[in-house]
């Protein structure tokens, strides 16, 4: 089955620790995205990548870092610099970024709780 996976589904970390969220897709999509969603709110774009070894900051990139070493993978690291990291994190992919009828496919999400 083609799709996009995120792991783990739930993640607990102590304050001050860095944590990395996994996102993998086997859809052969060029573009991948990370969003953050707080309770009752919409999605906010953290980072996106249009091609391997390239990525751009979204609206709320501070305190986060990403890498895109492989087309299939786009891990997100939540660093200790992120002031309020507890949230629901969603990864998505699309054929290309920002081009015409460009449907994004979303993973199931990771709920991060910082204690």
Q: Binding string, 50-89, against other proteins, x = CB under 8 A?
A: x-----x-xx----------------------------x-
What's the CA gap between 113 and 115, in Å, rounded?
A: 6
What's the CA gap between 67 and 35, in Å, rounded?
A: 15
Helix (H) or strand (E) segment spanning residue 90: strand 87-94
| Half-sphere exposure at residue 1, Cβ-oriented, CA atoms within 13 angstroms | 3
Out of 45, 52, 60, 95, the only residue in the binding site for other proteins (CB under 8 A) is 45
Looking at the Cβ atoms of 37 and 80, the one nearer to other proteins is 37
Instruction: Note the residues at the interface with other proteins (CB under 8 A).
Output: 31, 33, 35, 41-45, 48, 50, 56, 58-59, 88, 90, 92, 97-109, 111
């Amino acid at each position: 089955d083609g799709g996009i996976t995120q792991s783990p589904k739930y993640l607990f970390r102590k304050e001050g620790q860095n944590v990395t969220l996994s996102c993998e897709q086997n859809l052969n999509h060029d573009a991948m995205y990370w969003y953050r969603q707080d309770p009752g709110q919409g999605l906010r774009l953290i980072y996106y990548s249009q091609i391997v070894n390239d990525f751009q900051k979204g609206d709320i990139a501070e305190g986060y870092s990403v890498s895109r070493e492989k087309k299939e993978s786009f891990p997100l690291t939540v660093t200790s610099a992120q002031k309020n990291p507890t949230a629901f994190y969603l990864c998505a992919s699309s054929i290309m970024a920002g081009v015409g009828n460009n449907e994004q496919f979303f993973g199931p999400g990771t709920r991060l709780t910082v204690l």
